[in-house]
């Protein structure tokens, strides 16, 4: 369903991306932002799934500035290696790359952004800092609490698991306190970090199913023609 494409950021950097398009004219577009594992099979599958729901989806390779075409799985060694990319993240550069993906989709109707883990934080930052978006969705964004003073300019939906070892409930409470008035926030019982990914041991089918249903309803309300 999908294909690999190239994007050009505002500083002329050329990066890769994965794009999936629906068989019919798109309802809108969704930028999908990776975890630390690159635009891997799971992220491509999310794009394909969105295309199946009628949305054009683009996942920019936001690690291309550090290591082009990075893509890995979830073994302990792979996870340890992937962490190097976020030891000192250049959020500004990644947001430039995200803006290129937004611009790629603007001809397809309203554009939303959806991110997972690191990508969930980027989706939240994009909601407050970037243009051309109509909605943002973040799954278990670990740095959202540190950036919770940023006010999203667009409707924003956030998903968290209450058993997430990376994101304590105190962080989610701080996000709710600061952003509860302008973000829709859901907490999923017994869900760990990465609960949406059916390729990880932390996959939680009930949480994933409910979060996806809420995500599609959110897109239906805020990001479709």
Q: In the annotation, is 193 catalytic?
A: yes
Tokens representing 47?
């794009």
Out of 64, 97, 108, 193, pick the active-site residue.
193
Backbone torsions φ then ψ of 196, nearest 5 degrees: -80, -20
Out of 21, 97, 164, 171, pick the active-site residue.
164
Distance between CA atoms of residues 93 and 66, nearest Å: 11
Out of 21, 47, 117, 183, pick the active-site residue.
117
Q: In the annotation, is 71 catalytic?
A: no
Q: In the annotation, is 4 catalytic?
A: no
Distance between CA atoms of residues 214 and 196, nearest Å: 13
Hey, which residues are catalytic here? 117, 164, 193
């Amino acid at each position: 369903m999908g294909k690999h494409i190239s994007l050009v950021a505002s500083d002329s950097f050329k990066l890769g991306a994965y794009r999936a398009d629906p068989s019919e004219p798109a309802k809108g577009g969704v930028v999908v932002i990776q975890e630390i594992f690159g635009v891997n099979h799971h992220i491509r599958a999310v794009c394909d799934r969105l295309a199946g729901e009628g949305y054009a989806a683009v996942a920019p390779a936001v690690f291309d500035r550090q290591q082009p075409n990075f893509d890995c799985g979830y073994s302990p060694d792979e996870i340890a290696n992937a962490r190097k990319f976020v030891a000192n993240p250049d959020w500004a550069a990644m947001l430039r790359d995200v803006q290129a993906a937004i611009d790629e989709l603007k001809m397809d109707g309203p554009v939303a952004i959806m991110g997972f883990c690191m990508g969930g934080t980027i989706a939240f930052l994009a909601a407050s800092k970037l243009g051309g978006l109509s909605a943002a969705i973040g799954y278990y964004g670990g740095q959202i609490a540190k950036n919770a003073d940023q006010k999203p300019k667009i409707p924003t939906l956030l998903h968290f698991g209450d058993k997430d070892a990376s994101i304590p409930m105190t962080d989610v409470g701080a996000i709710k306190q600061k952003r509860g008035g302008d973000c829709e926030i859901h907490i999923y019982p017994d869900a760990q970090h990465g609960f949406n990914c059916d390729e990880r041991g932390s996959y939680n089918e009930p949480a994933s199913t409910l979060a996806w249903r809420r995500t599609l309803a959110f897109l239906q309300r805020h990001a479709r023609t």
